[in-house]
Amino acid sequence: MATNKQALLLALSLSLLASVALGRQSQTRLSRAQQCRFNQLTRSQPSRRIESEGGVTDVWDENEDQFQCAGVAPLRNILQPNSLSLPNFHPAPRLVYIERGQGLLGVHFPGCAETFQSQQSSTEGGREREQGRGRSGQDQHQKIRRIRRGDIVALPSGVAHWCFNDGDEDLVAVSITDLNNEANQLDQHLRAYYLAGGQQRHDRRGERGPENFQNILRGFDEEFMAEAFNVDREIVRKMQRQDERGLIVKVREGMGVIRPDEREEEEEGEWGRRLNGIEETWCTMRLHHNVDDRREAEVYSREGGRLNVVNRNKLPILRYMDLSAEKGHLFPNALYTPHWSINSHSIVYITRGEGQVQIADHRGQSVMNDRVSQGDMFVVPQFYAATMKAQSNGIEWVSFKTNGSPMRSPVAGYTSVLRAMPLQVISNSYQISPGEAQNLKYNRGRETVMASPRRS
């Protein structure tokens, strides 16, 4: 009898927990549905600029309706040559596109070994380090990666990272942070936990600024920190100080980090593509993939344009982050045919050129009909139908997707939904003749989502 009562209580408890969980899921779905109710979408520019010694950080307003709907926070870092973006981590995964320049990226996974060591290090040097007498120039650290223009870079949540611009031009990195991702158990606000530096609490006009980009080490007692690192308090004071340098600093001591040469890195990238990521481990996993390679285009039209996709198959770490990206290029006057996304929101950033964008909602109303140009960003919510037409100089963009394997359904073209329907269905749906239905279905030949300009 006691066993039966225990089983009944256990069943009731599980039922209650399941009801609570379903209730939370329903509330989440309802909340997101309410966030995606708007009458107008528009191109967006950064609302705030954080100036630092070695560059600037442009922040879009995460409270805009379209970004609230997608659950993302956009950001753009511009690093001047010989400048370092200070080490930090964030509670939600971030996907980055390198718009311009090149540099070195350090991403440091907890529990992974320091597999890179200088040629100068030796057993003797190792003993000296253990005794606190390590010589200058001897170092060990985790892998450093080369990033360059066109790279999609994946930064998992909670993993510390930094970036150094060792090139001759500014390094421009545009990113979205997926605040709705299950890895983020905090609220829906953009945060970055810095291990050095930090944003000034007051801007140059004396106004109090947001405090979401601060040095977390300042929150600890000086004595505790000195004991934790076994160093003098003076070093701790330097670690905790807040100066005028900001989030991106100029490097004055040089950056002699250890990394493979370019050829080794390229060979490693090719090997990773051949293995398709199966043999990768967490500590050595590839974190970036270039989307500017024409040979890897998923969609190509000689007169229309091309589309490169980076999903969980090309970059396996994205299966853990459930994000992806695509790089699009429309040739002059070409058209990205009307389509909708089946399983993701799209956050679109224009990298070059100009185009006309139209988006329609479920009510059959136009929620966006704007001309967009370089630097503009906008959101295409899941299931909203969208199209884009390039102007006379063409247009390029990068689109961040909130799913690791995005799927689209085009309305026109070789793989379109109308192409898959019988002629009689099309004819009766639009009250057109079979001949007109034939033209509607087949006039685009084998073109898919990239349509060449219409000929008069």
Three-state SS for the chain is: CHHHHHHHHHHHHHHHHHHHHHHHHHHHHHHHHHHCCCCCCCCECCCEEEEECCEEEEECCCCCHHHHHHCEEEEEEEECCCEEEEEEECCCCEEEEEEECEEEEEEECCCCCCCEECCCCCHHHHHHHHCCCCCCCCCEECCEEEEECCEEEEECCCCEEEEEECCCCCEEEEEEEECCCCCCCCCCCCCEEECCCECCCECCCCCECCCCEEEHHHHCCHHHHHHHHCCCHHHHHHHHCCCCCCCEEECCCCCCCCCCCHHHHHHHHHHHHHHCCCCCCCCCCCCEEECCCHHHCCEEECCCEEEEEECCCCCCCHHHHCCEEEEEEECCCCEEEEEEECCCCEEEEEEEEEEEEEEECCCCCEEEEEEEECCCEEEECCCCEEEEEEEEEEEEEEEEECCCCCCEEECCCCCCCCCCCCHHHHHHHHCCCHHHHHHHHHCCCCCCCEECCCCC
Lowest mean pLDDT of 183-197, 243-257, 295-309, name the range: 243-257
pLDDT digits (tens, 9 = 90+) for 390-432: 999 999 999 999 999 999 999 888 788 988 999 999 999 999 9
Neighbouring-strand partners of residue 450: 336
Instruction: Give the pLDDT confidence score for residue 12 in this predicted structure.
Output: 47
Q: What is the Rg, in whole angstroms, of the alpha carbon atoms belonging to the chain?
A: 26
| Residue 122 identity (one-letter amino acid) | S
Find all residues with CB under 8 Å of 55, minimum gap 6, and list them.
Answer: 77, 78, 79, 80, 83, 85, 170, 248
The pLDDT-based confidence of 117 (bands split at 50, 70, 90) is: low
Instruction: Give the pLDDT confidence score for residue 37 in this predicted structure.
Output: 82
Q: What is the mean pLDDT of the segment spanning 74-97?
A: 96
| Residue 95 identity (one-letter amino acid) | L
pLDDT digits (tens, 9 = 90+) for 228-271: 998 999 998 888 887 788 999 999 877 766 565 554 455 444 44
Percent of the chain with pLDDT over 90: 56
Instruction: Give the pLDDT confidence score for residue 455 in this predicted structure.
Output: 64
Q: What is the mean pLDDT of the segment spanning 107-113?
A: 85
Answer whether residue 451 shows pLDDT above 80. no
Say which residue, 53 or 208, is predicted with more confidence. Answer: 53
Answer whether residue 454 shows pLDDT above 80. no
| Residue 178 identity (one-letter amino acid) | D
The pLDDT-based confidence of 3 (bands split at 50, 70, 90) is: low
Lowest mean pLDDT of 23-37, 274-288, 378-392, name the range: 23-37
Q: What is the mean pLDDT of the segment spanning 132-147?
A: 69
Answer whether residue 16 shows pLDDT above 50. no
Q: What is the mean pLDDT of the segment spanning 343-357?
A: 97
Neighbouring-strand partners of residue 324: 401
Answer whether residue 148 shows pLDDT above 50. yes
Instruction: Give the pLDDT confidence score for residue 330 in this predicted structure.
Output: 95
pLDDT digits (tens, 9 = 90+) for 24-52: 333 443 344 457 888 899 999 999 999 99
The pLDDT-based confidence of 274 (bands split at 50, 70, 90) is: very low
Percent of the chain with pLDDT over 70: 79
Instruction: Give the pLDDT confidence score for residue 20 in this predicted structure.
Output: 37
Answer whether residue 10 shows pLDDT above 60. no
The pLDDT-based confidence of 118 (bands split at 50, 70, 90) is: low
Instruction: Give the pLDDT confidence score for residue 25 in this predicted structure.
Output: 38
The pLDDT-based confidence of 456 (bands split at 50, 70, 90) is: low
The pLDDT-based confidence of 144 (bands split at 50, 70, 90) is: confident
Query: Chain centroid to CA 245: how far?
Result: 26
